[in-house]
Homo-oligomer: A and B are copies of this chain.
């Protein structure tokens, strides 16, 4: 056994990473590292000490469309990066039982967006402001969580990121972002199941986005594993490291506090 892939429930991640690190195995683990930031840092320390590769499953970075935007940003196609707007909406909320153990919408759903923010802006969050409402289902509010959020991150260089999320988009899984730079804008759009358009009296219509993450990120999951295999062969370092996992969790923690206390939180 050369490597361990951890795709079990979140509360088992930390323990399993620690054991794999102790056994000097390369690690792939789904996000998040842990819901508790202190615990996540402990795990990070152990992995660092063990000097094993540890790849956290932020699969969006491997999505062909998202990855192309990143490459083109790095190639300077729009000059200096200034603003990032992320739209991230699930088709429908998960069961309340799931929500109750999820760590809240920021650690569960937006952690992916926080990772995209750091990756695309190439800068660390300095302040976070998170407004959150419960507009989809009152039971989510009863469970102490929100279902609709509007987050603003200001980075150290003054770059701005806006994230809007919802647990429900009636038209499907909406996963887009756009980056404004000094020389233009790069936009990452949704994928669609087919390229059919239907023209009839009153409207021309096309397919809504792919149904949910298994469809939308099919290519991304494959690319992620191809990358992990390259890591195992020693050809490269993990592009989504345990440090990325901890950093995204820090933003999620700050966003949760911001939302609960109704104020801006500094990191």
B-chain residues with CB within 8 Å of residue A10 when the two chains form the complex: none
B68 and A196 contacting across the interface, CB-CB below 8 Å? yes
B164 and A184 contacting across the interface, CB-CB below 8 Å? no
A202 and B196 contacting across the interface, CB-CB below 8 Å? no
A162 contacts which of B150, B184, B199 (Cβ < 8 Å)? B150
B-chain residues with CB within 8 Å of residue A172 when the two chains form the complex: 199, 201
A170 and B152 contacting across the interface, CB-CB below 8 Å? no
Q: Does A131 contact B (CB under 8 A)?
A: yes
CB within 8 Å for A196 and B129 given contacts A83-B150, A148-B82? no
Shortest Cβ gap from A103 to chain B (Å): 21
Bound Cα distance from A69 to B169, whole angstroms: 18
Within 8 A of B (CB), among A177-196: 180-191, 193-196
Bound Cα distance from A80 to B170, whole angstroms: 12
B64 and A193 contacting across the interface, CB-CB below 8 Å? yes
Name the residue on B nearest A195 (C-beta): B189
Q: Does A78 contact B (CB under 8 A)?
A: yes
A69 and B199 contacting across the interface, CB-CB below 8 Å? no
A152 contacts which of B64, B129, B187 (Cβ < 8 Å)? B129
Shortest Cβ gap from A69 to chain B (Å): 6
Shortest Cβ gap from A230 to chain B (Å): 21
Name the residue on B nearest A203 (C-beta): B205
Q: Does A229 contact B (CB under 8 A)?
A: no
Q: Does A233 contact B (CB under 8 A)?
A: no
Bound Cα distance from A118 to B174, whole angstroms: 25
A204 and B162 contacting across the interface, CB-CB below 8 Å? no
Give per-residue flags for A66-92: 1 if the beta carbon is below 8 A from chain B beta carbons, else 0: 001100100001111011010101000
A200 contacts which of B174, B183, B190, B197 (Cβ < 8 Å)? B183
CB within 8 Å for A196 and B186 given contacts A83-B148, A149-B160? yes
Give per-residue flags for A246-267: 1 if the beta carbon is below 8 A from chain B beta carbons, else 0: 0000000000000000111000
Bound Cα distance from A83 to B172, whole angstroms: 16
- One of A34-42, A47-55, A133-141 contacting the partner: A133-141
A152 and B154 contacting across the interface, CB-CB below 8 Å? no
Q: Does A206 contact B (CB under 8 A)?
A: yes
